[in-house]
């Protein structure tokens, strides 16, 4: 059981938007969101929310387009039919795979079974060829950066750690309310 809430990120209306978008993207999607300190809850002050969201979604799309894994880096005798997990082999790739197919399916289930919110980007396993280098993304557990807006704090997607490239977003008007949203703890009824 995780005692503290998952790494919430609060963005206030006096933030430098470019720096905030870049910082949030890094905090949320480094290591495909598979670190204990990945930013998973994004709470943005109302006055800048729409501008931030527009810039953040463009950043997310750029990360998505940059996911790849160049086949030409494989040795001649490499079996390309094996499933590839771990870091991308293409040094220009912006994000690698999820640790396993089982975990990717867990992430998809959490997205698909949510009771609230709107999916703004990502949300399902990547099965096409990479826009970066043509790599067949179905040969690994690739999941795009995903953004879901207005998820209820009682929803599993908000209250449980996803441990993947998924960000849930809300807007706030007063910092006290943002702090309360940021520190909703995971459910304790699970073993």
Lowest mean pLDDT among 76-80, 167-171, 174-178: 76-80
Residue 2 has pLDDT above 70, yes or no: no
Q: Answer yes or no: is pLDDT of 111 > 90.
A: yes
Tell me the pTM. Answer: 0.81
In this structure, is residue 187 part of a structural domain?
no
Q: Average of pLDDT values for 28-45?
A: 89
Q: What is the pLDDT of residues 38-75, one digit of tens each?
A: 888 999 999 999 999 999 999 999 999 988 864 434 44
Contact between 42 and 178 under an 8 Å Cβ cutoff? The reply is no
**What is the residue range of 146's domain?**
8-70+82-182
Q: Is residue 191 part of a domain?
A: no
**Strand order across the 41-45 sheet:** 8-11, 41-45, 166-172, 146-149, 118-121
Among candidate residues 126, 163, 173, 170, the one with its CA nearest the CA of residue 32: 163
Q: State the total domains in the chain.
A: 1
For residue 76, pLDDT beyond 60: no
- 179 vs 131, residue with greater confidence: 131
In a domain, 77, yes or no: no
Residue 167: inside a domain, yes or no? Answer: yes
CATH classification of the domain holding 15 = 3.40.309.10
CA-to-CA separations, 148 to 68, 128, 152, in angstroms, rounded: 23, 22, 11
1 in any annotated domain = no
Stretch 97-115: mean pLDDT: 93
111-120, 131-140, 168-177: least confident range: 168-177
- Looking at residue 137, what DSSP letter applies? G
Residue 160's pLDDT band (cuts 50, 70, 90) = confident
Mean pLDDT across 5-28: 90
């Amino acid at each position: 059981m995780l005692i503290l809430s998952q790494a919430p990120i609060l963005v206030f209306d006096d933030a430098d938007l470019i720096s905030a978008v870049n910082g949030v993207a890094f905090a949320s999607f480094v290591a495909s969101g598979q670190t204990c300190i990945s930013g998973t809850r994004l709470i943005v002050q109302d006055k800048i929310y729409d501008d931030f969201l527009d810039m953040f979604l463009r950043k997310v799309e750029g990360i998505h387009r940059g996911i790849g894994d160049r086949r030409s880096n494989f040795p001649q005798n490499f079996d390309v039919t094996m499933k590839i997990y771990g870091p991308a082999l293409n040094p220009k790739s912006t994000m690698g795979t999820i640790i396993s197919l089982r975990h990717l399916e867990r992430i998809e289930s959490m997205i698909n079974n949510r009771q609230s919110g709107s999916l703004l980007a990502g949300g399902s396993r990547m099965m096409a060829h990479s826009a970066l280098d043509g790599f067949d993304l179905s040969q690994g557990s690739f999941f795009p950066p995903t953004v879901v807006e207005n998820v209820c704090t009682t929803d599993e997607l908000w209250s449980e750690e996803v441990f993947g490239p998924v960000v849930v977003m809300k807007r706030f008007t007063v910092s006290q309310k943002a702090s309360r949203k940021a520190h909703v703890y995971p459910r304790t009824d699970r073993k």
